[in-house]
Structure 1
Amino acid sequence: MPNNNYSEVIVVDLEATCWNTAEEKAANTSEIIEIGVCVLNVLTGEIRKPAGLIIKPRQSKISPFCQELTSITQAMVDEGMSFEDGLGILRSDYGVGNRMMAGYGNYDKVMLARQCINYGVKPMFGPTYLNISAMATLKLKANKRVGLKSALNRLGLKFEGTPHRGVDDAVQAARMLWEIIK
């Protein structure tokens, strides 16, 4: 993939281990369990290469709350790939590191950077990161952040897929980005 290709944006959405109570959150480390990714052609609106890379966490387990929220099970992550292998796919198959990236909010950018640091892996952001949530807030003239599903609805789009699955959320964020910039 060519360097700094601004005709395509890599849209990511991460799912991570999570817990329902403050006590559980304090006692556990949140780790990425799915890297949802797709490519948006900003000239045509075409969304291609959607994928949900299931990542095996090193320390944490899937809580019942997390499984209900994401539909990702412990068995799925037990069979998942390493975080490093997931990053390798992002680099080789999607050109992450050389291309513009986007996500719905800053959570994905921060979580990815944090896990890279925690795992001793080189961070992998491209030349620019677009916060689609901030763009939607401006487009909708909202006075506060609007959630993904609500923003889609307000833009005349319906959520397609399973909420809180990285691949589906990434595709929905890409659809929204196209609706904003077309």
Structure 2
Amino acid sequence: MDSTGARRLLNVVDVEATCWDRGQPPGAVSEIIEIGLTVVDLATAERLARHRILVRPARSTVSAFCTELTGLTQHEVDGGVGFAEACRLLAAEHHAGSRPWVSWGDYDRNQFTRQCQSTRTPYPFGRHHTNAKAAFTEAHGLRKRPGMAQALEIAGLRLEGRHHRGEDDAWNIAALVLHLSERGAWPDPTPAAAKKLVCGTDGTG
């Protein structure tokens, strides 16, 4: 039993990608190098599991700035899987196509869309996406959409692990999802509800 019946499961996803502090080098593109995924059960208010997929970039390398930000090194991601295989794993092992999914802002969704299109890789996720940053902003009546770390402070939650590490960020975003659910402020992940929150673009936070 998955997101129907007694269990209400969500995939909370956060990605890290190659990045540079002074612009992209000639010929390089920003590519996903880590996918963090936490499974949440809204029915029991639990974070059930956390997963990490390292992804080997094909058209870029991990800069010193990227390592400083994420802790990820070129040597580490060289041991990862290719992007197409990462998407296959999301679909086959993590029910990405059928389970509603969540990210903090629209960056992660847009990055997957861009990279799938450029590499002709089947998009692994279904239509039911919720922008947790938008949901949090609305629930707390904020004027500006906060970054994840600021949202944790507002919610009275501590940041667990390292910020800008995909696995840890997904775990922390999942805590914010449960915070909103406990307040009765988590939107129902149906196409109509998700469309309201997903439209438009957003930053990474």
TM-score (norm. length: structure 1): 0.93
> What's 1:106 paired with?
106
Q: CA deviation at 1:28?
A: 2.6
Give distance in 2, aligned partners of 1:29 and 1:129. 25
Q: Quick check: 1:18–1:25 contact (8 Å CA) kept in 2? A: no
Matches within 5 A, 1:15-164: 15-22=16-23, 24=24, 28-164=28-164
Q: CA deviation at 1:94?
A: 1.2
Give distance in 2, aligned partners of 1:130 and 1:10. 10
Q: CA deviation at 1:27?
A: 5.3
SS class of match (2:34): strand
Give distance in 1, aligned partners of 2:45 and 2:115. 31
> CA offsets, 1:40-88, max 9 Å, x none?
0011121122112110000100000000000000000111111122112
Q: CA deviation at 1:160?
A: 0.3
Bigger RCO of structures 1 and 2 (CA < 8 A, at least 6 apart): 1
Q: CA deviation at 1:154?
A: 0.4
> What's 1:168 paired with?
168
Give distance in 2, aligned partners of 1:50 and 1:25. 33
SS class of match (2:39): strand
98-107 or 46-55, which deviates more:
46-55
Q: Quick check: 1:163–1:169 contact (8 Å CA) kept in 2? A: yes
Give distance in 2, aligned partners of 1:55 and 1:98. 22
5+ unaligned residues in a row in structure 1: which ranges?
A: none
Q: CA deviation at 1:33?
A: 0.2
Give distance in 1, aligned partners of 2:83 and 2:28. 18
Q: Quick check: 1:9–1:39 contact (8 Å CA) kept in 2? A: yes
Q: Quick check: 1:55–1:86 contact (8 Å CA) kept in 2? A: yes
Q: CA deviation at 1:25?
A: 6.0
Give distance in 1, aligned partners of 2:156 and 2:93. 32
Aligned residues: 180
Q: Quick check: 1:137–1:144 contact (8 Å CA) kept in 2? A: yes
* 4+ residue runs over 4 A deviation: none
Give distance in 2, aligned partners of 1:153 and 1:125. 30
- Is 1:10 aligned with 2:11? yes
Q: Quick check: 1:34–1:52 contact (8 Å CA) kept in 2? A: yes
Q: Quick check: 2:87–2:122 contact (8 Å CA) kept in 1? A: no
SS class of match (2:91): helix
**Percent same amino acid among aligned pairs?**
35
Q: Quick check: 1:69–1:164 contact (8 Å CA) kept in 2? A: yes
